[in-house]
Structure 1
Amino acid sequence: MIGFRKAGNDRAVHGRVRRTAGAATAVMLAVGGLLSAGAGTSAAGPGTGPTAVVSMGDSYVSGEAGRWKGNSLTDSGSRNGTDRAWVSGSSYDPAKVYGASAGGCDRSDSAEVLSAGPLADTAVNLACSGATSENVFRAANGGVPLKGEAPQADQLAAIAASRDVRVIVLSIGGNDLGFADIIEECAYDFVLWGSYCYDDQQYAVDGKIDAVVAGIGKSVDEIRAVMRGAGYADSSYRVVLQSYPSPIPRGAENRYTQSDWSRLNTGGCPFWNRDSDWARDSLVPQLANRIKAVAAAKGAQFLDLRDMLQGREVCAKSSKLVSSSVPASARTSEWARWIDTNETQGPVQESMHPNHYGQLALGRCLALAVAQPAASGVSCRNTPGADHTGMYLTPVP
Structure 2
Amino acid sequence: MVIVLLLGSVLLVGDDLVPEPTPLPGPPQDAPRVVVAMGDSTISGEGAGDYEKGTDGQNGNWCHRSPHASVHRMDLLTIDRTFNLACSGAPSPQVGLGDVVQYTEPSQAERLAAIAARNRVVAVVVGSGANDEPGFSHVLNACVEAWIGRGEPCGDSVGPKWQERVDKMVPKLVRALSDIRTVMGNAGYAEDDYQLIVQSYAAPIGTDVARGLQDLSGCPFRSDDLRWVERTAVPVLTAGVRLAAARVNARFLDLSRAGIGHEACSASRDPEHHEWFRRLAVQWDDLQHEDRATHALQESFHPNALGHAQFGSCLGEFLNTPDRAAACLAGADGNLHAASSRGP
What band does the TM-score fall into relative to the shorter chain? 0.7 to 0.9
Q: Distance in 1 between matches of 2:126 and 2:251?
A: 10
Q: Report the CA distance between 1:65 and its aligned residue.
A: 0.7
Q: Which residue does 1:71 correspond to in 2?
A: none
- 3-state SS of the aligned residue for 1:145? coil
Q: Deviations over 1:342-364 (max 9, x none)?
A: 74699311111000100001110
Moved over 4 A (4+): none
The correspondence for 1:174, drawn from 130, 137, 150, is 130
Aligned to 1:30: none
Q: Which residue of 2 aligns with 1:256?
A: 211
1:168–1:238 CA contact under 8 A, matched in 2? yes
Aligned partner of residue 52 in structure 2, secondary structure: helix
Match runs of 1:1-397 below 5 Å? 45-67=27-49, 96-103=50-57, 104-118=62-76, 120-139=79-98, 143-176=99-132, 177-193=134-150, 195-250=152-207, 253-256=208-211, 262-266=213-217, 268-316=218-266, 319-322=267-270, 328-329=272-273, 333-341=274-282, 343=284, 347-373=296-322, 375-383=323-331, 386=334, 390-396=335-341
Secondary structure at 2:233's aligned position in 1? helix
TM-score, length basis structure 2: 0.82
Contact kept in structure 1, 2:28 and 2:118, CA below 8 Å: no
- Higher helix proportion (structure 1 or 2): 2
* Cα drift, residue 175 of structure 1: 1.1
For residues 49-81 of structure 1, give each alpha carbon's deviation from its aligned partner in whole angstroms, at most 9, with x where no partner exists: 1111000000110000112xxxxxxxxxxxxxx
Query: Which amino acid letter does the alignment assign opposite residue 49 of structure 1?
Result: A
User: Structure 1 pair 190/342, CA: closer, same or farther in 2 (3 Å)?
Assistant: farther
Identity of aligned residues (%): 32
The Cα of 1:195 is off from its aligned counterpart by 4.1
Question: 1:265 offset after TM fit, Å?
Answer: 3.4
The alpha-carbon distance between structure 1 residues 321 and 108, as it changes in their structure 2 partners (threshold 3 A), is farther
Contact 1:44 1:161 in 2 (8 A): no
Distance change in 2, residues 1:376/1:340 (3 Å): same
The higher radius of gyration belongs to 2
Aligned length: 304
Query: Given that residues 46 and 232 in structure 1 are in contact (C-alpha distance below 8 angstroms), is that contact kept between their aligned partners in structure 2?
Result: no
User: Aligned residue for 2:4?
Assistant: none
1:341: Cα distance to partner? Answer: 4.5
Gaps of 5+ in 2: 1-24, 287-294
Is residue 321–residue 334 contact of structure 1 (8 Å, CA) maintained in 2? no
What do residues 91-126 of structure 1 show as CA deviations (whole Å, max 9, x unaligned)?
xxxxx4433322311111111110112352111100
Distance in 2, matches of 1:182 and 1:113, equals 26
Instruction: Give the aligned partner of residue 88 of structure 1.
Output: none
Q: State the alpha-carbon separation in 2 of the partners of residues 344 and 182 from structure 1.
A: 26
CA distance in 1, matches of 2:151, 2:197: 41
TM-score by length of 1: 0.72
Output the aligned Cα RMSD: 2.2
Find the aligned partners of 2:42 and 2:177 in 1 and give their Cα distance: 17
Residue 363 of structure 1 aligns with an amino acid whose one-letter code is G
Q: 1:252-299 deviations in whole A, cap 9, x for unaligned?
A: x12136xxxx42232x21111111111001110111112112222211
3-state SS of 1:175 partner: coil
**SS of corresponding position for 2:178:** helix
Q: How far apart, CA to CA, are the structure 2 residues paired with 1:178 and 1:213?
A: 13
Larger RCO (alpha carbons 8 Å, 6+ apart): 1
